[in-house]
Structures are given as structure tokens and as C-alpha cells.
Amino acid sequence: MTPPPRPNRAPDPAPPRRALARGWLLAGVLAVLLASPARAAGTFNVCVYDPSGESGPAFAIAKDYKTSASMWGTTINLRAFTNEEQAKGYLKDPATDTCHAAVLTGVTARQVVRYSGSIEALGGVPTYALLQKAIARVISDPAQRARMKEGEFETVGIFPAGEVYLLASGKLVPKDGSGQRKVPTVKGLKGRRIATIKSDQAALTMVKRVEAVPVDSTIADFAKKFINGQADACYAPASAVGPLGLTAPLKAGGGVIHYAMSPLTFQILVRNSAGFPEDFKARTLQWAAANFDAIRRQKLVPAENTLAPYWVELPEADRLEYDALFRSVRKELSQGANPVYDPAMVALIEEVRAGR
């Protein structure tokens, strides 16, 4: 028996455009997820600027921080940078997961969060005790703490990295017949060549104020310019003198002016869009403050003791002259529509200096 003919089947209706769109969107999302490694919740990448890389003091402190963070339930992946501008660039780029946070010097942090970076204002807190007191004031005052945020960035930790001194070649501090070094007064700096970090507007202002000649430099090459004689002087913390080879011109007749120009700090900055929990940021701020004395004792004082053979002591009259110079520079740079220093931080510094 011949089977009946099969009826003609109508073609399937075309899928709705909305369903097609959802399908393509889902496929795209899956492709991105499969192509990009996922970051676990509570895991953050912290980039650390240290001129000595993973063997340097800032990275050593960051490793201690990582250990503490793990006890708070947060995993930190550390990456060392010897180029600070690169670390800052990754921090500010939301399109990359390279740096969710960064450890930067205060002078560079000031370009991201002006308030916290201004704690390094020239001559503002020239002793560790004053710096520690200023940090404590920021932590304890909610109004000051709120100023640690600028845009999507926030400073969540400040710790000391040394006091900055003026290192002078033998030309600037020559010895007289009795073997005593000549003390460079403020007026004596006129016409002298000083290696000056070109991105540091405060230092440039100070150098020009004393009518010295700035030798444009970067953090990567200022030491070389002082060592090879392109500059008569440079400024640096004691912790950088040995690693950067700055002892060579000191041994050749140079000296270190025993007057702290400013504190150098390392600051922990986070990009809030990365999802840092509020309790983690608060703990980080407290951790940095709690470790201030240990960092000073273990990492900074020993380096400063190595400078003892090169100290050039300032007479009290000259010290007061430098104080007045730096006070006027702080005032100038905290004024105007776009000041270099945050006026609120400069005001806090002056209160701390006055013992209020």
C-alpha cells in the first residue's frame, strides 16, 4: 500500500529581533569572561614604587602590609616599579587591573590627592615627631579625613620615608685653612646649580626664590647629575644616599646641610572604583600610623646615622633664615585658584608647628 503523501511543512518563523540581540549580547559577555582572567573578590593589585625594586625599603614595608591585610581577609598582590610615573599611570587608568592601589612618594601623590601630598610642604614638619602629630590629627578629625579623597582616588595610609636634606659638593661647602667647612647661607645659594625634580613645582619655586639655577632632573637621573658634577647640590633623604651612590661626591669633599628641608613620605593610594571596602581602608590608615615608630627606628634612623661624617651644621641665624624662606614658600604655594599645596593641610601644619 502506498503511504499517503507527507504534508508540506511550513518553514520555522524567524526568531524575534530582541531574542537575537540577547543572544549576541550573551555571546559577547561570555567571550570577554573567557578571554580575561577573573579577579577574586577581596583581591587587589598594589603597585609599589621603590627605586631599588623588590629589594628596597618601600617594598619591604609593603610586604608587611600584605601580611596584615591577609589577616583582615583581603589578598594583596604586590608589584614593584622602579619608574614612579608608570606606577601612577596604571593607578589612574581604570581600563586596566594592573594597579588598583599604589604606594607612591608624597610629591607624586600630591598630583593625585593634593591634600595628603601637601603634608610634605617645604619646611612644614621638619621632624618625625611633627610629622607623626600631623598624621594623627588627620586620622582623628573626620573633616580632615574626608579631604583624603579626591575624585575616585583616596589616600589610605601615610608613613615616613626619611627627612630630606641638601647634599652639597665641595664647591658649595669648601674647607678653610683650619679644615672647617663653609656654611652655605640662603644668599650663598645664588647662582649655584641644584638638581631639581622638574615635576616638583614646590622645589622649583624654592630654587628660583634663592636665585639658584635649577638643573632639570627626574627621580631616575637627579643622583647621576650630582655625582658627575652637572649640579653643585641635590636634595634627598638619607635612605637614598647609599643606594644611589651619592656618597661619592660627599667623600670627595662634599657635605650634607644638617637641616631637614621637608619630610619624605610614602603614601598608599587606592582607586575606589576597584571596590575597596571601607573597613579595609580604615584599617590601612591605622596600620600605617601604628607602624610609624617601627619604620623610623628600623629603616630610617640607621641610614641617617651614616651621614654623621658629612654633616654641615648651620648657625642659628642661618637656620632662622631658612625657616623664613620655607614659610614664605609654603604661603605662596597654598594661594590662588589652583595652588600647589592644599591650603587646609598647610593650615593644619602651621597649627601643629605652633603646638595647637
Which tens digits make up the pLDDT trace of 313-332? 999 999 999 999 999 999 99
Q: Are 257 and 314 in contact (CB under 8 A)?
A: yes
Is residue 26 pLDDT above 50, yes or no? no
* 180: phi then psi, degrees, rounded to nearest 5: -80, 140
- Decide if 238 contacts 147 (C-beta within 8 A): no
Instruction: Classify residue 184: in a domain, yes or no.
Output: yes
Rounded Cα distance between 109 and 337, Å, is: 20
Mean pLDDT estimate for the chain = 88
DSSP result, 9-43: PPPPPPPPHHHHHHHHHHHHHHHHHHHSPPPPTTE
pTM: 0.84
What CATH number does residue 172 fall under?
Answer: 3.40.190.10
Whether residue 81 sits in one domain with residue 107? yes
The CA distance from 212 to 116, in Å, is 28
Give dist(CA 285, CA 227) in Å, integer. Answer: 37
Domain boundary among 198, 232, 260: 260
Task: Please give the pLDDT value at position 32.
Answer: 35
Tell me: do 216 and 292 sit in the same domain.
Answer: no
Shared domain for 195 and 158, answered yes or no, is no
Tell whether 296 is covered by a domain.
yes
Question: 260 is written with which cell numbers?
Answer: 631637614
Q: Is residue 329 part of a domain?
A: no
pLDDT at 41: 56
40: confidence class by pLDDT, cuts 50, 70, 90: low
Question: What average pLDDT score do residues 277-290 get?
Answer: 95
Cell of 165: 636634606
- Which residue type, as a one-letter code, is found at position 271? R
Does 8 fall in a domain? Answer: no
* Residue 156 sits in the same domain as residue 47: yes
Domain boundary among 224, 245, 260: 260
Percent of the chain with pLDDT over 70: 88
| Same domain, yes or no: 271 and 128 | yes
**Final residue belonging to a domain, choices 226, 245, 260:** 260
- What distance lies between CA 75 and its chain's CA centroid? 22
Give the model confidence (pLDDT) of 212-237 as tens digits: 999 999 888 999 999 999 999 999 99
Q: Are residues 47 and 139 in the same domain?
A: yes
Say yes or no to pLDDT of 195 above 70: yes
Domain that holds residue 99: 43-162+264-306+340-353
CA dist 73 and 80 (Å) reads: 22
**How many CB atoms lie under 10 A from the CB of residue 137?**
16
Asked whether residue 178 falls in the same domain as residue 231, the answer is: yes
Predicted confidence (pLDDT) per residue in 73-100, tens digit: 999 999 999 999 999 999 999 888 899 9
- Please check whether residues 293 and 231 belong to one and the same domain: no
CB atoms within 10 A of CB 152: 12
Cell of 307: 651621614
In the prediction, which pLDDT does 199 show? 84
pLDDT of residue 237: 92
Q: Provide the domain count of the chain.
A: 2
Residues 129 and 194 in one domain: no
Are residue 285 and residue 177 in the same domain, yes or no? no
Look at 335 and 21; give whichever has higher pLDDT: 335
For the chain, how far is it from start to end, CA to CA, in angstroms? Answer: 112
Q: Cα 248–254–257 angle (5° rounding)?
A: 120
- Amino acid identity for residue 336 in this structure: G
Residue 265 pairs in a beta bridge with 160
Lowest mean per-residue pLDDT among 31-40, 215-224, 256-265: 31-40
| CATH, residue 142 | 3.40.190.170
Specify if 96 maps to a domain. yes
